[in-house]
Amino acid sequence: MVFLYIILKILVLVVCLLISVAYFTLAERKLMGGIQRRRGPNVIGWVGLFQPLADGLKLFVKETVIPTNSNQFVFVLAPMLTFFFSILAWLIIPFSETTVLFDGNLALLYFFAISSLCVYGIILSGWSSNSKYSFLGCLRSVAQMISYEVSMGFIFLIVIVSSGSLNLVDIILSQKYIWYAVPHLPVFLCFFIVALAETNRHPFDLPEAEAELVSGYNVEYSAMAFALFFLAEYANMLLMSAITVVLFLGGWFFPFNLLPNFLSFNIKLVFFVICFIWARAALPRYRYDQLMLLGWKLFLPFCLGWLVFTITTLILFDFLPNFY
């Protein structure tokens, strides 16, 4: 009975996530249409509300084309692997103090491990396609994600040192009186930029770069295989928005308890979703050397320095009362 209950909760999470991703794409197209002074989708359904469902149906009924010279098993496996890892990390996200599937003491370490595994689907898709554009796209993605994961790891260490726990619920509870975005504001801004790079979004969409690589690692994919990459990318954006809310904006806590826990969490998450869309509409793409310079020569030293500063400050505040 307990096993069936867990399976039911996972199914509810997956269905809600898929619906959220579908309407995330609609919100992106609508907002970008507004920014660029055009209408956006407005034909299928009232004000275009059924457009994501029509797009999903179109991709579902299309024929999947597998290149002749590709490694066919790996070619088919790659998008499924990418989508699976993008779903797996959602198990630890606490929407409220009681609404979390897996409340583990090493939840943040689990998240870091899963986010590192996400790159394997992209590597396999680029290699198995037997296309120079796909291969260049996957190489760029590997280098980019490894480069920015180092900075992300140091940012996680800053939050762990500040809260004294790797449990996401404990991290949120430690922000009951002040969100970590206030004392760690520069790190909070760094983390949002790192999230853009980790999800291969503008201005760091070098692995896809339509103007150079004709969509990069997924250029040979069509129909549902392409849709799985698409779903994984948008699920990862929602995931990074959720983890930013958890680590820096107090999760479900809202000033003066003005909003219910679940609503408070989701309003903050939607704010970051809008920031992702704004970045795509407003910012030009970085050159590859600028991308690497930003990650290794700016973010990494800064995050390492802030970690040392945080540890020193906490030790000093622990030492001073004992000294006097």
**Interval 247-287: pLDDT, tens:** 998 888 887 777 777 788 888 888 988 988 888 888 888 88
Angle at 204 between CA 200 and CA 209, to 5 degrees: 80
Write the burial class of residue 203 (CB in 10 Å: 0-12 exposed, 13-18 middle, 19+ buried). middle
Whole-Å CA distances, 171 to 68, 95, 281: 50, 13, 33
pLDDT of residue 302: 93
**pLDDT tens digits, one per residue of 124-158:** 888 888 888 888 888 888 888 888 888 999 999 99
Cα 268 to Cα 252: distance, rounded to the nearest angstrom: 9
- Given a cut of 50, the residues of the chain with pLDDT beneath it are none
Cα 117 to Cα 113: distance, rounded to the nearest angstrom: 6
pLDDT of residue 48: 80
pLDDT of residue 224: 85
pLDDT of residue 191: 92
pLDDT of residue 217: 78
pLDDT of residue 131: 82
pLDDT of residue 59: 82
Are 252 and 172 a contacting pair, CB within 8 Å? yes
Are 245 and 269 a contacting pair, CB within 8 Å? yes
Q: What is the DSSP letter of 100?
A: -
Are 223 and 64 a contacting pair, CB within 8 Å? yes
